[in-house]
Amino acid sequence: MKKKIIYFLLLFCAIVLQTSVLPLISPVYVTGDILLMLILVGSVLDGFFAFFWWAIFAGIIYDLASYMAVGVHALIFLLVVYFVSFFSRRFSVEIRGVGLALFMFFVVVATLVSRGIIALSIAWDLQTLDGYFREFGSLKIIGVQILFNIFLFFFCFFLLKKVKKFFAIE
């Protein structure tokens, strides 16, 4: 029960940060996606089956908080959790060596998948393929978001490890 309360509070704080604080501190109107990185870290540390329902819950709540079509972020988070579980069973997921490169790969793929699905959702509403490329963004915007997300990933990784150690959560 303690784990559920702590995870709920962490996800709630991440949603509040994502919708209110991060857009204000972004220099080029590109924000990192702290909730996506928290989902990514949670699936790395806990595994697919332990974090599956948290990904669905966080996606639906985030869609409601950000006025998106309900289910878009849940789909993104589920794809990310499945993708991470596929690779984490085959490789070492530690902060050294191959694990560090794997984490960077996870962040890049998660960022591109997230931007792609959100752009597809918006283009579907606009009924134009031109809207997809406009919403997906340029290489500069994607590069800046990947850098933000790498920073946020390692911040969330160390934060979640410390929280789990402090509250003795397994």
| Residue 27 falls inside a structural domain | no
CA atoms within 13 A on the CB side of 40: 31
CA atoms within 13 A on the CB side of 141: 12
Q: Structurally, how many domains does the chain consist of?
A: 1
Residue 52 and residue 40 in contact, taking contact as beta carbons nearer than 8 Å: no
pLDDT at 76 over 90: yes
- The residue among 145, 166, 14, 167 whose CA lies nearest residue 77 is 14
Q: What is the pLDDT of residues 123-160, one digit of tens each?
A: 888 787 777 777 787 888 889 899 999 999 999 999 99
Q: Name the residue range of residue 131's domain.
A: 2-10+32-166
| Residue 23 falls inside a structural domain | no
| Residue 21 falls inside a structural domain | no
For residue 67, the model assigns a pLDDT of 86
| Residue 123 falls inside a structural domain | yes
Average pLDDT, the chain: 87
CA atoms within 13 A on the CB side of 54: 28
pLDDT at 60 over 90: yes
Annotate 142-169 with b (16+ C-beta within 10 A) or e (fewer): bebbbebbbebbbebbeebeeebeeeee
